[in-house]
Structure 1
Amino acid sequence: MNEIIAGKLLEIERDKNVRILYACESGSRARGFASPDSDYDVRFIYAQQSNEYLSIRERKDVIELPVNEVLDISGWDMIRRV
């Protein structure tokens, strides 16, 4: 599963043109309460390209992949636009 998660994170970096700075497991597995059918919750912090931070156009500050029965992956931009 580690290889699958690492591959998904690399795919996010490539597809969204971001750099993932930190990723961790959260949820029931991280707390030691996983059941046999628990999914893998992955959370991450990322940075965008500098030109994205300097742009005046609207941009998202979160990346959320569709949740399925195995993976729940989402992350937040290190700099939140308010």
Structure 2
Amino acid sequence: MATQLTQAAARSAPTFDPAAWLHALVSIGGGYALASDKRLWLVVADCPADELTDVMAQVVGHPDRQDAVRVTIERRQNGEIA
């Protein structure tokens, strides 16, 4: 029974799409850069605070999601994805 509940919870959990997240950041006026040491820089000076809060809430405290964003940017820089 516990296995069934765990599997159902896993299926219903929302997935994180790093490309969609980057698009959401840019669509509210933000930007991003990946430094040579793989440090992620987010440009948010011109973003409306209420919209920025919603976007940032998806990655703050989620190192796995932050890593997924880094990987997506790297793949774009390498021409692997558009």
- With structure 2 as the length reference, what TM-score do the two structures score? 0.29
Point out the structure with max Rg over C-alpha: 2
Is the strand fraction higher in 1 or 2? 1
- With structure 1 as the length reference, what TM-score do the two structures score? 0.29
Is the helix fraction higher in 1 or 2? 2
